[in-house]
Structure 1
Amino acid sequence: MAAALLSVSVSAHAQDDLLKTLETQVTDSARAEYVQATFKGTRIINGQSVETPGAGTMVFLISHRFGMLNSGAYNFFGLDQATIRLGLEYGINDRLTVGVGRSSLEKTYDGFLKYRALRQSTGARAMPVSVTLFASSALTSLKFPDQERPDGSRLTYTYQALIARKFSPSLSVQLMPTLVHRNFVDTRAEQNDVYALGIAGRQKLTKRVALTAEYYYLLPGATADRFRNSLAVGFDIETGGHVFQLHFTNSQGMIEKFFVPQTTGRWLDGDIYFGFNISRVFTLKSKND
């Protein structure tokens, strides 16, 4: 009798263990596994990536752009001429980021918000892409000799949906539908609203080096007739807490206000700017705080 009871008890315990194992497997299969590091920085080259710093993390970004390579030996092939942007980005939480910056080009101040709406994931409810929404404003503080402009006419706004997919550990691709609204344009023929479609990619070459490329196509209109599409290629180099980005582009400006609707350089004519981005990450608030 005792042996029979012991056998039933052991059998029931084994069944409980089996049920717990099955429940764990079902829970694990249903749990979303988010794809990490679609891009290594918050910027691809000129434009934004889907990445955000994360809660309590601040990014200090230095963007530097020399003059045109075809400016000749007298200007040391562009090295004598340079523009710079200093920026700070802070992760309010894992989804929302706020950022500010100041560019020497037209003495421009900019601020932006990024919101990570969707994250690529695997599992029972897999999400095939990551989607980050981006909105920025830029204020030109340059003094105009011909007339003094009110502050409202100095503002430019940019709105983007950043849609990216990491196809493999080495390859990531991103699309960027873009609207740039300018409160002031020089002539009536120019567009206050400029639409563009960007595409960018990242291909890892080694564990710490990746090839990047970025292209913005201006939709047909007066702006597309007068200006060029922005094209940039470069390399990402990871060095500890830094991401060092070297690049070549036909755009002088380093924020959307400039490189989307105001690019003038022609690659085939040698109107190419060499530049770099350096980002440093600081953890101001740990997740355990």
Structure 2
Amino acid sequence: MRKTLLLTTLLLLSIFSIKAQDDLLDILNNEQAPETNYALATFKGARLINGHTIVTRKAKELEFIISHRFGRINTGIDEFFGLDGANVRFSLEYGITNDLTGGIGRNSFEKVYDGFLKYALLKQSTGKVNMPISVTAFSSVAIRTLDDPTFQADDFNSKVSYTHQLLLARKFSEKFSFQFAPTYVHRNKVLGNQENDIIALGIGGRMKLNTRLALNAEYYYRLTSEIDPTYKDSIGIGLEIETGGHVFHLNLANSRSMVERGFITETDGNFFKGDIHFGFNISRVF
């Protein structure tokens, strides 16, 4: 009887010991298993100045953006330094999935309607998945509805343009992020000997100043040479202010348009000669 009791006790102790060892190994394995840590807040919003960033909305998240661009500051007191002339863009952007965002908008300048899709292909991360950059694909279509005597009023095809971008960005530190944006713009119809197809390279950056302020800048260099010398490269700088659910941008840029066709291919202001437009963007996420 005593031998049976002793053997039973030893058997139970062995079972509990093995189980405890297995549990300890599971804990150690879980602690040692690498995790994927994604870079957060590479950019605070979907726009830098005029151009898009790599940021996509979360699934079922809706963002409402109001953008204003006033006239040129160098017009003087007669135009109240540009404040008398303003154009506005309203847009809605919706997260279809965590990686896919769709949006629509209207710019009062040239009465342009536009729509776009943006898809996050890669996300900067460390740990289990080590990815040095974030990559987002962007495609848009814009329709200019302003009556233009140089085109036939019923020629819908002449009013349409398309833009495709590959947005590549890296968050180098908690304070600094940089973006590179190879861009292709196709304009269905142009005047004279201008090019229908424009290739441009966009660059931009964000420098965080403190918990609520950041400095943004962007520049689009057109690789395609155009006959019309009045068009310039788009340049913009801005101050970003974060206030709870709002992100507020105060911008200075030489572009009036806030749609890709306009600010990338048809900017007619010389930033360094004072052809600068003050403007702001304000966004709210729901």
So what's the TM-score if we normalise by structure 1? 0.92
Among 17, 21, 24, the alignment partner of 2:27 is 21
Task: Quote the residue 1:285 is aligned against.
Answer: none
1:222 aligns with 2:226: yes
Distance 1:6 1:184 in 2: 85
Change (3 A) 1:223 1:111: farther
Which of 220, 232, 249 is the equivalent residue of 2:253? 249
Paired AA for residue 21 in structure 2: Q
Q: Is the 8 A contact 2:53 2:167 kept in 1?
A: yes
Of the three residues 76, 81, 95, the one matched with 2:80 is 76
1:184 equivalent to 2:180? Answer no
Structure 1, 1-10 or 40-49: larger mean CA deviation = 1-10
5+ residue gaps, structure 2: 1-5
Match of 1:287 in 2: none
TM-score w.r.t. the length of structure 2 is 0.93
Q: Partners of 2:149 and 2:224 in 1: how far apart?
A: 32
Matched to 1:86, the amino acid is F
SS in 1 for 2:132: coil
- Other-structure match for 2:157: 152
The equivalent position to 1:175 in structure 2, one of 177, 180, 184, is: 180
For the 8 Å contact 1:223–1:261, the answer to whether it is kept is no
CA distance in 2, matches of 1:10, 1:143: 84
Structure 1 unaligned residues grouped into runs of 5+: 283-289
What aligned pairs does 1:84-163 form with structure 2 within 5 A after superposition? 84-149=88-153, 150-163=155-168
Name the amino acid aligned to 2:88. I
Task: State the 1:167 CA deviation.
Answer: 1.1
* Separation in 1, partners of 2:124, 2:31: 22
Aligned-residue offset at 1:277:
0.2
Shift of 1:281: 0.8
CA RMSD of aligned residues (A): 1.6
CA contact (8 A) 1:199 1:215 kept: yes
Residue 17 of structure 1: how far off its partner (Å): 2.4
In 2, the alpha carbon distance for the partners of 1:33 and 1:72 equals 51
Deviation string, structure 1 residues 133-176 (Cα, Å, up to 9, x no partner): 10001101111235524101110100000111111111111110
Question: Structure 2 CA distance, aligned partners of 1:74 and 1:93?
Answer: 49
Deviation at 1:112, TM superposition (A): 0.6
Whole-angstrom distance in 1 between the partners of 2:255 and 2:156: 25
**Alpha-carbon distance in structure 1 between the residues aligned to 2:16 and 2:147:** 86
Pair 1:224–1:146, CA change in 2 (3 A): closer
Count of aligned pairs between the two proteins: 279
State the shift of 1:279 in Å. 0.5
Q: Counterpart of 1:260 in 2: which secondary structure? A: helix
Runs of 4+ in 1 over 3 A off after TM superposition: 1-11, 223-226
Cα distance in structure 1, aligned partners of 2:107 and 2:202: 22
> Structure 1: how far apart are the matches of 2:272 and 2:138?
32
What SS does structure 1 have at the residue aligned with 2:250? strand
Residue of 9, 22, 40 corresponding to 2:44: 40
1:95-140: per-residue Cα shift (whole Å, max 9, x none)?
1111111111111111111111111111122111111110001101
SS in 1 for 2:251: strand
SS in structure 2 of the partner of residue 185 of structure 1 = coil
**Deviation readout 1:255-277 (Å, 9 max, x if unpaired):** 11111011111122110100000
* Aligned counterpart for 2:56 among listed residues 38, 52, 56: 52
What amino acid does structure 2 have at the position aligned with 1:13? K
> Within 2, Cα distance between the matches of 1:147 and 1:234?
36
Residue-by-residue CA offset, 1:183-236 (whole Å, 9 max, x unaligned): 00001x210000000011001101011000001111141268542111100011
- Residue 30 of structure 2 aligns to a residue whose secondary structure is helix
Q: Name which of 11, 18, 25 aligns with 1:12.
A: 18
